[in-house]
């Protein structure tokens, strides 16, 4: 478990990152599928963090889901490395627990799912500044900075951002009502449709967030992860919503209020994640599952305050190596540009000499 703290302009945030990795000598870490799951991005969606806790219990203590035998999933877990962020928006969660039941923002009033850089800051006609404040700039918030650096260093093959408010399985895009083109999009949709069919009897909405949810969202996590971070399969799961609840009762709109419904939601969506793991392992092309560096060493960067609290060795040396690697990449780029410029100059010079010689020959 990593505890990560970051901050800027007098505001700080803390995040816990739990890593689950079956240590099996027969499976090399470089060949494993890496999965990153984020819960609790919006403070009022408390049920999402309860799901994270239950899923971790199942993974680590092999608890059963409503009597389902999970032994068949053991082999699948050997091929996965899973990072779980149980509460991405800890400061927002504290505001909700203090009585601001309807608040989805972080500790200084920013919607973390509008603070990413793809189509950041665009406002629709129904824009609500209380609900959707995107911040002063992309990644102005420490929580978004931590998650961005985690995505860069861990390089997941599958990412799921978990919310509540309805029941749906979404893929990019959120900022427009279409899905991406090409084979990767078809693979994502295939995975979601299989999860929907196997676990929900085709009852969940499936498609792009912008096309299915009824409004466009700009600066979201999922769109950044697909367009910029190049995660092969970034998803948004909406795990619960009470359509009959009054708009004045935010807690009931986003969270089950009785034990029977609570248990049903938890069991159903824990099973959905296990099926997702299986579908991802089966569907991802082999050429996308390659070694991308150490799995246990990642150092978020940026912000005035940054700490890493764990019982393992410090990641400072890895941060230096990462910086050195980036520097070498920049030097290679500059060298290529220099060689190209030199070639063009030589070509122009030779062309001018050739023209002068032809002119001199004509004069003779």
Residue 27 binned pLDDT confidence (cut-offs 50, 70, 90)? low
- Please give the average per-residue pLDDT across 238-242, as a whole number: 98
Q: Is 273 helix (H, G, I), strand (E, B) or coil?
A: helix
| Percent of the chain residues topping a pLDDT of 90 | 65
- The mean-pLDDT minimum among 196-200, 297-301, 326-330 falls in 297-301
Dist CA 169 CA 165 (whole Å): 12
- What pLDDT score does 348 carry? 75
- What pLDDT score does 356 carry? 63
- Please give the average per-residue pLDDT across 119-144, as a whole number: 93
Residue with more model confidence, 287 or 47: 47
Dist CA 64 CA 351 (whole Å): 77
Dist CA 270 CA 12 (whole Å): 31
Dist CA 171 CA 92 (whole Å): 25
DSSP-assigned states of every residue in 332-359: HHHHHHHHHHHHHHHHHHHHHHHHHHHH
- What pLDDT score does 125 carry? 84
Q: Is 6:13 a contact under the CB 8 Å cutoff? A: yes
DSSP 181: P
Q: Is 269 helix (H, G, I), strand (E, B) or coil?
A: helix
- What pLDDT score does 306 carry? 43
- What pLDDT score does 324 carry? 42
Give me the active site residues, please.
238
Dihedral sign (CA 257, 259, 261, 264): positive
Is residue 293 exposed (0-12), middle (13-18) or buried (19+ Cβ within 10 Å)? Answer: middle
Quote the mean pLDDT of the chain: 84
> 58-91: per-residue pLDDT in tens?
998 877 776 677 777 888 998 999 999 999 999 9
- Please give the average per-residue pLDDT across 213-231, as a whole number: 95
Those residues with Cβ within 8 angstroms of residue 274's Cβ, 6 or more apart along the chain or in another chain: 58, 65, 70, 73, 76
Element (H, E) at 23: none
Looking up tokens 């927002």, which residue turns up? 92
Dist CA 354 CA 352 (whole Å): 5
Those residues with Cβ within 8 angstroms of residue 150's Cβ, 6 or more apart along the chain or in another chain: 17, 36, 83, 85, 298, 300
Evaluate if residue 326 carries a pLDDT over 60: no
- Please give the average per-residue pLDDT across 127-139, as a whole number: 92
Question: Would you state the structure tokens that stand for residue 233, as one six-digit string?
Answer: 């399969």
> 148-171: per-residue pLDDT in tens?
999 999 999 999 999 999 999 999
- Please give the average per-residue pLDDT across 34-62, as a whole number: 95
- What pLDDT score does 294 carry? 39
Distance of CA 105 to the CA centre of its chain: 18
Looking up tokens 């159903």, which residue turns up? 268
Evaluate if residue 226 carries a pLDDT over 80: yes
- Please give the average per-residue pLDDT across 158-185, as a whole number: 96
Q: Is 85:287 a contact under the CB 8 Å cutoff? A: no
Evaluate if residue 56 carries a pLDDT over 90: yes
Evaluate if residue 209 carries a pLDDT over 90: yes
Those residues with Cβ within 8 angstroms of residue 134's Cβ, 6 or more apart along the chain or in another chain: 110, 111, 114, 115, 120, 121, 218, 219
Can you list the domains of the chain with their CATH numbers? 2-283 (3.40.630.10)
- What pLDDT score does 74 carry? 84
- What pLDDT score does 345 carry? 75
Dist CA 40 CA 325 (whole Å): 34
Residue 248 binned pLDDT confidence (cut-offs 50, 70, 90)? confident
- The mean-pLDDT minimum among 57-61, 201-205, 319-323 falls in 319-323
């Amino acid at each position: 478990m990593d505890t990560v703290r970051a901050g800027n302009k007098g505001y700080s945030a803390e995040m816990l990152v739990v890593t689950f990795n079956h240590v099996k000598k027969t499976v090399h870490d470089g060949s494993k599928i890496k999965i990153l799951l984020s819960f609790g991005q919006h403070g009022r969606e408390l049920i999402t963090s309860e799901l994270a806790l239950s899923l971790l219990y199942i993974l680590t203590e092999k608890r059963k889901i409503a009597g389902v035998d999970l032994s068949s999933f053991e082999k699948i877990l050997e091929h996965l490395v899973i990072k779980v962020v149980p509460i991405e928006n800890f400061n927002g969660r504290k505001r909700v627990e203090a009585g601001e039941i309807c608040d989805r923002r972080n500790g200084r009033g920013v919607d973390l799912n509008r603070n990413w850089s793809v189509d950041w800051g665009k406002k629709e006609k129904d824009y609500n500044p209380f609900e959707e404040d995107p911040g002063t700039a992309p990644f102005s918030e420490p929580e978004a900075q931590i998650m961005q650096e985690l995505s860069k260093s861990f390089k997941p093959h599958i990412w799921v951002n978990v919310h509540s408010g309805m029941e749906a399985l979404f893929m990019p895009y959120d900022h427009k009502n279409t899905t991406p083109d090409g084979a990767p999009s078809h693979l994502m949709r295939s995975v979601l449709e299989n999860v929907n069919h196997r676990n929900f009897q085709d009852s969940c909405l499936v498609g792009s967030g912008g096309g299915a949810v009824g409004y466009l969202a700009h600066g979201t996590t999922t769109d950044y992860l697909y367009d910029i971070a190049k995660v092969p399969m970034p998803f948004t799961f909406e795990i619960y919503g009470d359509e009959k609840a009054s708009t004045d009762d935010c807690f009931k709109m986003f969270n089950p209020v009785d034990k029977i419904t609570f248990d049903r939601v938890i069991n159903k969506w824990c099973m959905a994640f296990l099926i997702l793991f299986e579908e991802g392992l089966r569907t991802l092309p082999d050429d996308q599952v390659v070694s991308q560096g150490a799995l246990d060493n990642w150092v978020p960067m940026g912000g005035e305050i940054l700490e890493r609290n764990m019982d393992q060795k410090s990641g400072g040396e890895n941060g230096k190596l990462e910086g050195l690697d980036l520097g070498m990449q920049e030097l290679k780029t500059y060298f290529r540009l220099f060689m190209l410029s030199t070639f063009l100059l030589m070509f122009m010079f030779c062309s001018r000499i050739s023209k002068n010689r032809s002119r001199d020959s004509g004069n003779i």
